[in-house]
Structure 1
Amino acid sequence: MVDGSIFAGPALRRLRKREGMTQAGMAATLGISPSYLNLIERNQRPLSARVLVQVIEQFDFDPRNLREEEAIGGVEGLARRLADERFSDLGIDRDEVSEFLATTPQAAAAFARLYDNAAPGSTAAGGDDALSASRREIERWRNHFADLDHAAEQLADEMRLSRSDIDAALTERLREKHQLSVRILPLDVMPGAIRRLDLHARQLQLSEMLDRSSRNFQIALQIAQLEQREAIDNLVAGAQLTDASARQLFERHLTGYVAAALLMPYGRFLRACDQTGYDLTVLQRRFGTSFEQVAHRLTTLQRVGQRGLPFFMARVDRAGQFSKRFSGASGATILESEASCPLWIAHEAFERRGELCVQAVMVDGADAGPAHWFTMARTVEASGATGEARFAIILGVEARLAGDLAATKGERLDEAGAQPIGMGCARCQILGCRQRSLPPRGLPLHIDRIVRGLTPFEFQPL
């Protein structure tokens, strides 16, 4: 769907064939010309509201079938699957992905189903498989759950949350509505936990190691669990995840989604983004949240008629391993890799602790999605950790959309000034990279006994 238009030609064509009708016959039934129906079936014209009503009334048709591609996450969802390293030698670009989905949506859905079920099918899949299944469901929704957002916003208005009394409002809600008090306990009492619900004592117990933003988030989580249980359960059930761990991970994500939406209500948060140029420091201060919480929230701003910029967000460790990645509506395939590029700003961020680092990049191997991005990274400490548990949070938005961001002041956004990076060495075909640790997968190496190049792996890119 683009600006409310529905392009559903293949679905309408299948309906016509199912009914055994010619284009002229169906056009007459719908009150349109055969030439116009032909354009609709070829996705050269959108399906207007009037024609859609006629389709529903004349053929007793379920309109949800017109947008079956939503079940696989649209072009972005299909592009993410085709960005898998197993297809890296095929050079599939975004235009091909769009054409595949537009012309043969059933075949695209079949491919997506096979891809999604390619993981081991046991009833107790491994943690990595469960995480992948949960993430696929999040990405299918593009990390925007409209009903949960509206419910959280209404609750925030009811509680009248503001930056001055958010702590008191959250605590009071638990006490008045659920007869639960909040108790802060010392580290030696809760050495291995940051949060515990003691129903016998009617207490939500929190570790003293949590900072203010993390403490508020944990209270908001508890409120989300108690007051949005049915809505969350319905979404989990609708996902039809076969693995129990995947269901639990998806449920945990949805609960955290409500908590974040409660602390950063959609309308107020988006207005603050627009007013400040998405100034991350100001947003943290204004809503009493952490950098990571704000980063998460930026990937969810996709309310119809009230959209924010399409950010992606990831969390990586020092070894370049992803522990979180949300593409949202960004269409990013940069996250579809087992490792991150060492030339990406995420790795430099570890050397500049707590500092916001920025970098414009051109991504090699991103044919199925945008390649030119403006990215930001900053280190964060694990919530409630007593040792060195540090990660880098990365945010990215297409460079063409980043001109008004507070973080881009003084930065070059043109392609010529962008740093070339790859999707991990095994998937990168950038020549002459001194940082290369592995040869590109699927390409023959050129070993010269006479001349030694800049790297030990010489090859000819596709």
Structure 2
Amino acid sequence: MAIGKLFIGRKVRELRVASLATQAQFAEKIGISTSYLNQIENNQRPVSAAVLLALAEKFQIDIGALSSGQNDRLLSALTEALSDPLFETYSPNLQELKLVTQNAPGFAHALITCHQAYRRNSEQLASYDDRIGNPVGPVEVTPYEEVRDFFHFVDNYIHELDLSAEALATSLGLGDDDSHGLLVRYLEDRHGVRCARAEIGDGVIRRFDAKARILRLNPYAPPATRNFQIAVQIAQLHAADVIETVLRSANLRSEEAADICRIGLQNYFAGALLLPYRRFLTAARELRHDIELLAVRFGTSLEQICHRLSTLQRPGMKGIPIFFARLDRAGNITKRHSAAKLQFARFGAACPLWNAHEAFEAPGRIIRQLAETPDGVRYLCLATLVSKGWGGFKAAQPRFALSFGCEITYAENFVYADDLDITSKPAFDPIGISCRICEREDCASRAVPPFKRRLLINQDLRETTPYRLG
């Protein structure tokens, strides 16, 4: 697929302002005219390869950070919002949407927030039957959804926390499968906290007694889970100031959302501590993203590995852009992040043709799929089943499908693609994001028609679906 023209005026302007240069000074430094720079900053002209190279050389920046699709997740969310029949009289083209997300991301976020509120009000009204006459107030975004969007739009990478966790991991010598003893000793020596077994029958995973300085862990939890919970406790004690600084910058609208986000940030630090950035990135490349070997090397779970792979977005040291999602048996996406162009639907179910659903039918295996989305982008999709059950025969055994992968241009970096014919077009399964925004007309698995398409009904003809799209 050809690479489109790059309109990155906002990023270039931010770089110039940060360097305290006028347009004339900045243009001279990168070897272009002031008028050309002015046109670039106003997105009237795309940047050329020569300009990109000059920016990289003069300002020591990662070209990928400028030219990669960092706005893809915002563009995807805005596209989905504007596909609603509410906007049926307005159909912006792709270039218009790109200009909005690149030049006015705050406006795009505001529009998405308004659409979410509209959707929630509509869904609440639809759920009322005999109470339909009662007044229904506006349905606010839930704190959980607000926090999920915060992580989504920062690319699931928190620079300050990542650096802090990596520095601590380096000082402790963390980064392999012998982390437990180091974590326990650090917690006791530096913070005076002793680890102990939780009481038998206690259903909690972790309980911290701040007064007694005792961290009790469920003895039935897997070692990877216990290590992660120790790392979470270290995050609370070691990284509290950094976490509060990030929270203030998030501008969350309620204390409840802040509390939820605080847990997410503590979990982020824990993952970055157990899987320190440089060591993990190096190992991922060396082992060609074999998640089972990575889990063994670092003594973590498969889910922790997949999640960490999706966060490798450090400027100047990025990993492969990977998407990651966790689904339950009903198809609900309980975790999601995409550093790739593939974005997950915010409303409605995931595409039934996606191989993530097959993982429930093949426990113990990694399911592989070559897939193509309606925009023509091709992916290597991988999925496997994990169980969260522990604690004996009578304990709950929740199971989840982990889905991860990358655009096909990066497939050679994955051991899973070695024997796949990634050059064969018929080898790629057509998948979508969600039926409500998928434009494929001949899909036998379509659940609902796409929005903004007129239905053509022929009473004398029955094809894959009972209608054609006008």
TM-score range, shorter chain: 0.7 to 0.9
Please provide the CA RMSD for this pair: 3.6
Match of 1:65 in 2: none
- Is residue 327 of structure 2 the alignment partner of residue 316 of structure 1? yes
Q: What SS class does the counterpart of residue 306 from structure 1 fall into?
A: coil
Deviation at 1:184, TM superposition (A): 2.0
- Is residue 451 of structure 2 the alignment partner of residue 441 of structure 1? yes
Contact 2:325 2:402 survives alignment (8 Å): yes
Residue deviations 1:211-236, cap 9 Å, x none?
Answer: 01111000011001110000011001
- Is residue 289 of structure 2 the alignment partner of residue 271 of structure 1? no
Structure 1 residues 22-171: aligned runs within 5 Å: 27=24, 36-43=33-40, 44-45=46-47, 74-87=70-83, 95-102=95-102, 105-106=103-104, 108-116=105-113, 118-120=115-117, 129-171=142-184
Normalized against structure 2, the TM-score is what? 0.79
- Is residue 426 of structure 2 the alignment partner of residue 416 of structure 1? yes
Deviation at 1:382, TM superposition (A): 2.6
Contact 2:198 2:219 survives alignment (8 Å): yes
Residue deviations 1:294-327, cap 9 Å, x none?
Answer: 0110111122222110111111111211111112
Residue deviations 1:51-106, cap 9 Å, x none?
Answer: x99xxxxxxxxxxxxxxx99xx952243132232542677766554434445xx14
For the residues of structure 1 that align with 2:407 and 2:286, how far apart are their CA atoms? 20
Structure 1 residues 306-455: aligned runs within 5 Å: 306-327=317-338, 329-364=339-374, 367=375, 371-382=377-388, 384=390, 386-414=395-423, 415-455=425-465
User: What fraction of aligned residue pairs are identical, expressed as a percent?
Assistant: 29
Contact 1:187 1:209 survives alignment (8 Å): no
Q: What SS class does the counterpart of residue 449 from structure 2 fall into?
A: coil
Normalized against structure 1, the TM-score is what? 0.80
Structure 1, 299-308 or 282-291: larger mean CA deviation: 299-308
For the residues of structure 2 that align with 1:330 and 1:83, how far apart are their CA atoms? 16
Residue deviations 1:345-369, cap 9 Å, x none?
Answer: 11110001131111111123xx5xx
For the residues of structure 2 that align with 1:177 and 1:127, how far apart are their CA atoms? 43
For the residues of structure 2 that align with 1:32 and 1:145, how far apart are their CA atoms? 31
Q: Specify every segment of 5 or more residues in structure 2 that has no aligned partner in the other structure, as ranges.
A: 1-5, 41-45, 60-64, 122-136
Deviation at 1:139, TM superposition (A): 2.4
Match of 2:126 in 1: none
For the residues of structure 2 that align with 1:154 and 1:438, how far apart are their CA atoms? 50
Q: What SS class does the counterpart of residue 183 from structure 1 fall into?
A: strand
Q: What SS class does the counterpart of residue 219 from structure 1 fall into?
A: helix
- Is residue 210 of structure 2 the alignment partner of residue 199 of structure 1? yes
Supply the AA of the counterpart residue of 1:167.
Answer: H
Supply the AA of the counterpart residue of 1:426.
Answer: R
CA pair 127-344 structure 1, distance change in 2 beyond 3 A: farther
Supply the AA of the counterpart residue of 1:83.
Answer: T
For the residues of structure 2 that align with 1:159 and 1:435, how far apart are their CA atoms? 52
For the residues of structure 1 that align with 2:406 and 2:443, how far apart are their CA atoms? 25
For the residues of structure 1 that align with 2:31 and 2:300, how far apart are their CA atoms? 56
Give 1:259's match in structure 2, choosing from 266, 270, 273: 270
For the residues of structure 1 that align with 2:244 and 2:469, how far apart are their CA atoms? 51
For the residues of structure 2 that align with 1:428 and 1:49, how far apart are their CA atoms? 38
Give the count of matched residue pairs: 419
Structure 1, 161-170 or 391-400: larger mean CA deviation: 161-170
Q: What SS class does the counterpart of residue 176 from structure 1 fall into?
A: helix
Q: Specify every segment of 5 or more residues in structure 1 that has no aligned partner in the other structure, as ranges.
A: 17-24, 54-68
Supply the AA of the counterpart residue of 1:412.
Answer: D
Q: What SS class does the counterpart of residue 234 from structure 1 fall into?
A: helix
Residue deviations 1:397-419, cap 9 Å, x none?
Answer: 11111123101121232443111
CA pair 119-245 structure 1, distance change in 2 beyond 3 A: farther
Q: What SS class does the counterpart of residue 334 from structure 2 fall into?
A: strand
Contact 2:100 2:108 survives alignment (8 Å): no
Structure 1, 86-95 or 310-319: larger mean CA deviation: 86-95
Q: What SS class does the counterpart of residue 138 from structure 1 fall into?
A: helix
